Amino acid sequence: MSKVNLRELLNKMTTKQKIAQLEQLAARYFTKNKTDITGPLRDLGLTEDELKIIGTNLGIGSVEDMIDVQNRHLDEDPNHIPMIFMSDIIHGFRTIYPIPLALGCSFDDQLVYECSRMAAREASVGGLQATFTPMVDCIRDARWGRVMESCGEDPYLNGIMGQAQVKGFQGDDISNPGNIAACVKHFAGYSAGEAGRDYNMAELSEHSLRQVHFPAYKACVDAGVKMVMPSFNVLNGVPSVANKWLVNGVLRNEWGFDGIVISDWDAVYELTQHGVAADLKEAALLAFENGCNIEMMSFSYISHLEELINEGKISVDRLDEYVMKVLEFKEELGLFDDPYHGASSEDSKKLFLCSEHREISRRAARESAVLLKNDNILPLDRKLKSIALIGPFANSDDINGAWSCAGRRNECVTVKEGIRNLLPEVDIKYAKGCESYLNDRNISGFEQAIVTAKSADAVILCLGEPSDYSGEERSRTELTLPGMQLELARAVIDANPNTAVVLFGGRPLELVELDSIAPAILHMWFPGTEGGNAVSELLFGVYSPCGKLSVSFPKKVGQCPIYYNYTNTGRPKSRYIDCDKFPQYFFGYGLSYNKFTYNSMILSSHTIDKNSSIKVSVEVTNEGCMSGKETVQLYLRDLVSSASRPVQELISFKKVNFEKGETKTVEFEITEPMLRFWNADNEFVSERGEFEISVGYADHMKFTEKFSLI
C-alpha cells in the first residue's frame, strides 16, 4: 500500500485537475512532439496544460514509449499522479493465442485462464496496467464482425470463460507486476444489434436481457472484475452509457458493482448523435449522472463539468467521489509505488515469444480447433512423400486474427512452416490458387493449383476469411467464403479427392456446399502465433482434434440470428420454404479421430428439493486408436414452467482425457439453483415440476432421463 494520503491529494487538486483524472486520451497525443499535436489537440478542445494532467492513456505502442510518457507526465503533472496505461488485449499481447470465439470451442476454462495469465505477464512488462477484456456479449448473429471477440452463443459458457479471463488477467492482487486490471464489455445487448450491424440499436425485453445477455456480465462482476464498459448501442431506446436502469440500477445497485465504469471510444459524444443530448454539455451531464467514471476520447467532462458544477447541476461531492474512485484504482494498481508496474524493456525481450508462452499458444490452438467433417481422410500419413499445399492461407501469416495487440504477423508460424517443422523431408508443393477477398474474381491461379493437386499424394487446402473481415465495423450481409475460394475448392477436390480443407476465420460461415464436396474440414479459426505448428500436429495425427463448437453455423445467412437454445413456437410449421430451420453444425458439435462411446447415464435420484442434489454419472469409453479428449456436455430442459423455456440449456460440462481403450465415469451434480430462471414477472426462481437431463451435444443426445423438483 502506498504512503500517499489520497484524501490530502484530492483536497489540494483544482477542479480542472480533478476532472482530468476522469479523461482517457489516445497514446498518440503523448508520444508525438508538441509541434506535431498542437492542431489535433485544438480539434479535441484540449490545451497543452490539460494534456499534462490527463488521468489515463489508451493504446501505447511500446514499453519504451510507456516509460518515456510516464516519466514526462510525472514531471509535468502538478500533483505527480501517475497515468494508467490501458489497451485492448483481446487474444494475447505479443505471443498471440486463438481468438476468444475459438477459445470457447476449447470448453477448457483452465486453458483460457492460462492464456490470460500469459497475456497479463507480457502486457505488464510491455507497459500496460489494464485491458478491455473480456468481451462476453452473447453471439447469435454471425453477420456481426465482433463475434470473434466472444466465447460464443451460450450464456453459461460465456460466463465460465469470462470469469477465467478475469481471474487470469487480474491474479490475486493487481498491484503485483504480472497482473493487470480487466474490463468486461460491452454492457449490454451490443451483440443483438438490428440486422447484425455494428453499433446498431437493440430492442430486448427485460426477460431476454436477464435470461440470455446479463448472466455472463454478472459472472464477471462476481469474479471481481475491476472495470465495466457500457456498450455503444441504444438499448430499448436509451444509449447504454446514459441508461440509468442498466448502469445505476442493475450494475451498481442490484449487482453491487463498485469499480470503474468507463465509456467506449467517443461514446459520450455519441449521445448527441443518438439524439438524446442536444450538445456535448448535455451529454456530459447524462453520462456523469449515470455513473460513468472515465470517458474515453470524448472530452465532454473536461470541457463542461466545471461549468455544470458552477450551475449547480453536478455537486462537488459527486465529482470528488468519482475522482477518489480513480485515485483508489491507481493505488490498487500500485502505481503510486511503482508508476511503471514492472514495465521493462529488458524483461520484455526475455518474456515475449518465450518457449513457455509459445507452447501455451500452441496448445490453445490445438484444443480450440474443431473437426467438422472427416470421411476417413484424416489424420494424414506422416510417411507421405508429397503434399500439395494450396489456398490463400496455405503460406500466409494472416492467421493471427484481428486485434492481436502487440502481435506481429511476421512472427506467426504459417501452415507451410508448420508442416516443414513437423516433416522436414516431405516434398511440399505450393500453389496459392486465388486471393481471399470478396471482390477478387481472379482465377488465373487455378491452373497451377490443379496441376499441383494432381501431382501430390494428398492436398491440404487452406481457405477462409482474411483477419480484417473480423472485428469492429466488419459486419457482412453474406456468409459465404469470400472471392473464388469455393470455386477453387471444387477444382482442387475434383483434381485430387484426397483433400483436407483447413478453414481460418473469425465467424461462422455458410459451408453447406463445401461440406458436400470436401472429404474433411478442420476449422482452426484464427489460431495465433503458433497456428501453423498446431495445424500440422492435428492434420498428421500427433494430436486428435477435440474442440466443440461454441456457436452454431447457419445453412443460410437468412437463418440469422440462429442458436441452439431456442424456445418452441406454438406451431411446428414455423419454417422457411427454401431451407429448414436448423443450423449446418450445432453448438457443441465436433468430431475426433477417436470414437467415444457413451455407455450409460445414471441418476442417483429422480427427485430433488432445495436441500438436496442429484448425482449424474456418465460412463464413456474411448474406442479409438489414440489418446484424446472428449467434452462431456450436460443439458437441461424444463418441461413445463410459467414462462416458455428453451428446448435445451447447457448447465455443465467436463473435458476429460482418455487413453486408448480407456473407460471413465464422468460425474456431475445437479442442485436446485441450477434449475432457476427468470419467470414472467422477472423473478429468478425455480418451479416445481418435471425436468429432462441429457448428455451429448445440441440436437444429438446420447441419453435422456427425467427427474422432478419437489
| Residue (of 257, 210, 192, 193) closest to 229 by Cα position | 257
155-199 confidence digits (pLDDT tens) = 999 999 999 999 999 999 999 999 999 999 999 999 999 999 999
From-to residues of CATH 3.40.50.1700 in the chain: 359-549
From-to residues of CATH 2.60.40.10 in the chain: 596-709
- The cell for 658 is 482418455
| Residue (of 102, 67, 73, 191) closest to 400 by Cα position | 102
What global pTM score does this model have? 0.97
DSSP, collapsed to helix, strand or coil, labels residue 357 as helix
- Strand-pairing partners, residue 693, are 636, 705
pLDDT band at 99 (very low <50, low <70, confident <90, very high): very high
Name, in order, each residue with C-beta under 8 angstroms of 199's C-beta and a sequence gap of 6 or more. Answer: 193, 232, 233
Q: Which residue of the set 88, 154, 264, 397 is catalytic?
A: 264
User: How far is Cα of residue 511 from the mean position of the Cα atoms in its chain?
Assistant: 23
Please confirm whether the linkage preceding 554 is cis (ω < 30° from 0).
Answer: no
Burial (CB < 10 A; 0-12, 13-18, 19+), residue 516, is exposed
Cα dihedral sign for 420, 423, 428, 430? negative
Mean pLDDT of 460-488: 97
288-340 confidence digits (pLDDT tens) = 999 999 999 999 999 999 999 999 999 999 999 999 999 999 999 999 999 99
Q: How far apart are CA 614 and CA 265, in angstroms?
A: 47
Is residue 548 over pLDDT 80? yes
DSSP, collapsed to helix, strand or coil, labels residue 547 as coil
Classify domain 359-549 at the CATH topology level.
Rossmann fold (3.40.50)
Q: How far apart are CA 523 and CA 526, in angstroms?
A: 9
DSSP conformation class of 331? H
Q: How far apart are CA 54 and CA 297, in angstroms?
A: 11
What CATH superfamily is the domain 596-709?
Immunoglobulins (2.60.40.10)
Please say whether the beta carbons of 131 and 169 come within 8 A. yes
Q: Give the pLDDT of residue 404.
A: 85
Q: Give the pLDDT of residue 699.
A: 73
560-585 confidence digits (pLDDT tens) = 999 999 999 998 889 999 999 999 99
Please say whether the beta carbons of 389 and 395 come within 8 A. yes
Mean per-residue pLDDT over the chain, rounded? 96
In the numeric block, the cell 500517499 is attached to: 4
Please say whether the beta carbons of 599 and 661 come within 8 A. no
Q: How far apart are CA 218 and CA 571, in angstroms?
A: 34
Is residue 1 over pLDDT 80? no
- The cell for 56 is 489515463
207-251 confidence digits (pLDDT tens) = 999 999 999 999 999 999 999 999 999 999 999 999 999 999 999
Please say whether the beta carbons of 377 and 135 come within 8 A. no
| Residue (of 264, 142, 272, 263) closest to 197 by Cα position | 142
Q: How far apart are CA 343 and CA 178, in angstroms?
A: 9
Percent of the chain exceeding pLDDT 90 equals 94
DSSP, collapsed to helix, strand or coil, labels residue 72 as helix
Please say whether the beta carbons of 611 and 526 come within 8 A. no
| Residue (of 547, 408, 520) closest to 463 by Cα position | 520
How many angstroms separate the first and last alpha carbons of the chain? 51
CA distances from 262 to 24, 32, 202, 290 (A): 9, 25, 20, 11
Q: Give the pLDDT of residue 235.
A: 96
Please say if 515 is a catalytic residue.
no
Please say whether the beta carbons of 530 and 520 come within 8 A. no
